[in-house]
Amino acid sequence: MCLYFSRHRVGLVLFLYLLTQALLAEEFPSDTIESTRELLPLSWEELTVLDVSGLARQEQSVQNSPAAAFVITSEDIRRAGVTSLPEVLRMVPGMNVAKINAWNWAVSARGFNDLYANKLQVMIDGRSIYDPLVSGVYWGQQTPALQDIERIEVLRGPSGSLWGANAVNGTINIVTRSAQDTQGGLLSGGGGTEEQGFGGIRYGGKLSDATFLRGTLSGIHRDASIDLVGDQDTHDNGDTETGNFRLDSQLSEHDQLMLEGNVSRYRQHGYFIGVSSPTPPLWRQDDFGRDGITGSLQGSWKHLTDSGHHTDLNMSFTQTNWDLTTNNMSRSQGVLDFQHSLPSYDNHHLMWGLNYQIISDNFDNTLTLGFEPEKYTQHNVGVFLQDQIDLFEDWVLTLGNRVEHFTYTGWETEPNARLLWMPNKQHSLWAAVSRAVVLPNRAQHSIRLFKTIPGSNTFFEATANPDMLTENLLAYELGWRWQIASNLDIDTALFYNIYDRMQGTKFTGNVRTDPIYGNVLEATVGNYRHVESYGLEMSINYRVNHDWRLQASYSGNQFDAKYDANVSWFRDPDAEQHFNPQHRLSLRSLFNLTPEIELDAWGRFVDEIYVDRTSIPAYFTLDLRLGWHPHKDLELSFSGQNLLDNQHPEFSDILYIPVASQIQRGYVAQFSWRF
């Protein structure tokens, strides 16, 4: 790398080097003091994770990335006092997070929120966890131990050229701690009024000088909630158990290997599944619950050459089995992913990659719910190329494109161009234009749902549309990061998104007369709508001193949908405008009363929404947490959640199967002990 000078000049070089050092020592840089002071507002937890050489990776990636990025650290997670992944995401500007019941959440970025919202790519250590059946995440089935998470990187806006289809409105990458960082034991647990009991044990050991292994076992039991009227129990209690291991090995100076395995078992209630039958009663509604098991195995091999080539090979295999009254499913998914970063050439930094995905599923259809064909296999392949070009003094241009071939829709392309300008240390501005696609999912392509229209005795049959095309997004974004002082910064992003060929669900107008069920309305799905959205996201970080940190975020958005007003729509054609709060605010305070005692507060405001004919009023809510470290290896905490009212609804859902409930005030006590 350093063979830049010919050999006979080494002596001269050495001399000049020493001369430089001497000059530097004589006149020590004047901003030594100033730049050192920039570190002083950091909390102890933030300080102790910083790298000695270079900036911390996360800090750097956020500050220099030409995208709306936000990083949640393990410290943020611990001090939020929460027990599930979606709750953690509430602190991110631009993220919509609404709880439907104990196990179901509506989580999305930049609007389009719904149960199983489909425009968000979510990964754990690079393995996608969104479900190919609905292209959304079943959050109740993703219960990694929060203590094992090192950080969560959230990217709002499209990043399809890097992460592929469905990375449309955002990408979330959950990065777990390496086995090397989790040596020894950790016993944790707690319980409360809503989170009735949870606990886990982790142990990490050293297999050899460069190989580490850890395992975690955890479980959760949640109480039932209360319905939207406020008098009926929604029976959404249930439990999940998860086992996880991770192995990290430095195979050689140049090679790193990681293997991770996960098995989750979940038994959850609160699904008012209806069952249609050819004999009376033709329709019976009951809570049959959901029973399932998901297992995954993944590995990654990173190789770095002396000449600066960086290759990354990832593979994962996921098996999911569901046992529902209306349908059983067994599905296997395999992903192979290769990525190669080339050494910088002139002012170009090139990166390219290939990926292959196979999804093979098998359903046991019933009269109520079926997927045609019952057995189906999809093969998807993609290739991407990205060039990051340093222009002039302080401009960076990033051009990228991904071309993919899908079994459902054929060839698709997801190009983007991003420009970053960093005129000085205080300001960085960026702009981006990107195209992204939402792939039709298995449900849209093959579902057959036969049940009564919610709230009536009339049956309908919703059938899939095998001709469904991708939903296409063209996004324009602008961003500005301003470091006002060493302890104060503001991050702002603006977006204008145009979504073409958006899905809509409508009654076809055909009414089939059935000898048993009478008149059956027919409904279908298709690319019937056009939606535009624009919005503003802002986050402010203020470190009053190293014991007190404040973080505020604001998001505002507006939607405009165009559709045929003469059609009888099955689902609200103005869903985007109705389902998404116009304004959202979050204000967090992380305060150390003493080095051992922490007092944290988190207030949120969410504007009113209107979901499936149900009005959800605006709400203010407040969480408080008191943490205490009586011993270096013991942490105790007590949190109160949703303290400002007895209960409030956050979302509703009548079409799908979970029953919507209100979110009740809750208290939870937690402990964690390292040994």
Partner 1 sequence: MLRNFPGAFESGIVTKAILKLLLLSIGFCLPGICCGDANPAISREYQLKTAYLFHFAELAQWPDSTQMTICVKGDNPLRFYLPALEGMEVDNKIVHILLDPVFAIEQCQILFLSELDALSEAMLTQAKIHHVLLVSDVEQFASKGGMIQFTLRDNKLKLIVNLASVRAANLRLSSKLLRMAEILE
Token couple for 3: 């063979």
- Return the SS3 of 434: strand
Cα distances from 332 to residues 266, 293, 301, 319, 329, in angstroms, run 18, 12, 22, 5, 10
CA–CA distance, 645 with 154 (Å, rounded to integer): 30
Among 33, 279, 456, 515, binds partner 1 (CB under 8 A): 33
Residue length, the chain? 675
Instruction: Say what the alpha-carbon torsion angle 361, 367, 372, 373 is, to the nearest 10 degrees.
Output: 60
Cβ(621)–Cβ(642) below 8 Å: yes
Under the binding rule (CB under 8 A), the answer on residue 675 touching partner 1 is no
Under the binding rule (CB under 8 A), the answer on residue 286 touching partner 1 is no
The residue range among 22-30, 289-297, 524-532, 640-648 that interacts with partner 1, by the rule CB under 8 A, is 22-30
- Nearer CB in complex with partner 1: 14/354: 14
- Nearer CB in complex with partner 1: 75/291: 75
Question: Hunting for tokens 């991110």 — which residue is that?
Answer: 92
Question: Hunting for tokens 């979606």 — which residue is that?
Answer: 86
- Return the SS3 of 37: helix
Interface mask (CB under 8 A) for partner 1, residues 169-208, using x and -?
Answer: -----------x----------------------------
Interface mask (CB under 8 A) for partner 1, residues 381-420, using x and -?
Answer: ------------x---------------------------
The residue range among 2-10, 263-271, 442-450, 507-515 that interacts with partner 1, by the rule CB under 8 A, is 2-10
- Report the b/e string of 251-270 with b at 16+ CB within 10 A: eeeeebbbbbbbebbbebbb
Identify the H or E element spanning 87.
helix 85-89
Under the binding rule (CB under 8 A), the answer on residue 53 touching partner 1 is yes
- Nearer CB in complex with partner 1: 24/251: 24
The residue range among 41-49, 66-74, 102-110, 309-317 that interacts with partner 1, by the rule CB under 8 A, is 41-49
Nearest by Cα to 495 from 89, 162, 110: 110
Among 23, 280, 306, 411, binds partner 1 (CB under 8 A): 23
Cβ(517)–Cβ(459) below 8 Å: yes
CB 40 → partner 1: shortest distance, Å? 6
Which residues does 323 contact at the CB level (< 8 Å), separation at least 6?
A: 290, 291, 292
- Nearer CB in complex with partner 1: 231/393: 393
- Return the SS3 of 446: helix
Cβ(79)–Cβ(550) below 8 Å: no
Interface mask (CB under 8 A) for partner 1, residues 105-124, using x and -?
Answer: --------------------
The residue range among 36-44, 158-166, 293-301, 534-542 that interacts with partner 1, by the rule CB under 8 A, is 36-44
CA–CA distance, 413 with 415 (Å, rounded to integer): 6
Under the binding rule (CB under 8 A), the answer on residue 1 touching partner 1 is yes
The residue range among 10-18, 67-75, 357-365, 464-472 that interacts with partner 1, by the rule CB under 8 A, is 10-18
- Nearer CB in complex with partner 1: 35/305: 35
Among 5, 345, 395, 620, binds partner 1 (CB under 8 A): 5
Under the binding rule (CB under 8 A), the answer on residue 40 touching partner 1 is yes
- Please give the single-letter amino acid code of residue 204: G
Q: What is the DSSP letter of 271?
A: B
SS (HEC) of 368-380 = CEEECCCEEEEEE
- Nearer CB in complex with partner 1: 33/229: 33
CB 147 → partner 1: shortest distance, Å? 14
CA atoms within 13 A on the CB side of 563: 25
The residue range among 43-51, 116-124, 299-307, 351-359 that interacts with partner 1, by the rule CB under 8 A, is 43-51
Among 265, 310, 629, 665, binds partner 1 (CB under 8 A): 629
Among 11, 27, 278, 515, binds partner 1 (CB under 8 A): 27
Under the binding rule (CB under 8 A), the answer on residue 305 touching partner 1 is no
Under the binding rule (CB under 8 A), the answer on residue 547 touching partner 1 is yes
- Please give the single-letter amino acid code of residue 285: Q
- Nearer CB in complex with partner 1: 596/608: 596
State residue 582 phi and psi, 5-degree precision. -70, -40
CB 249 → partner 1: shortest distance, Å? 15
Token couple for 225: 């909630």
In the complex, the residues that contact partner 1 under the rule CB under 8 A are: 1-2, 4-5, 13, 16-17, 20, 23-24, 27-37, 39-40, 42, 44, 47-55, 60, 63-64, 180, 393, 422, 425, 546-547, 595-596, 629-633, 674
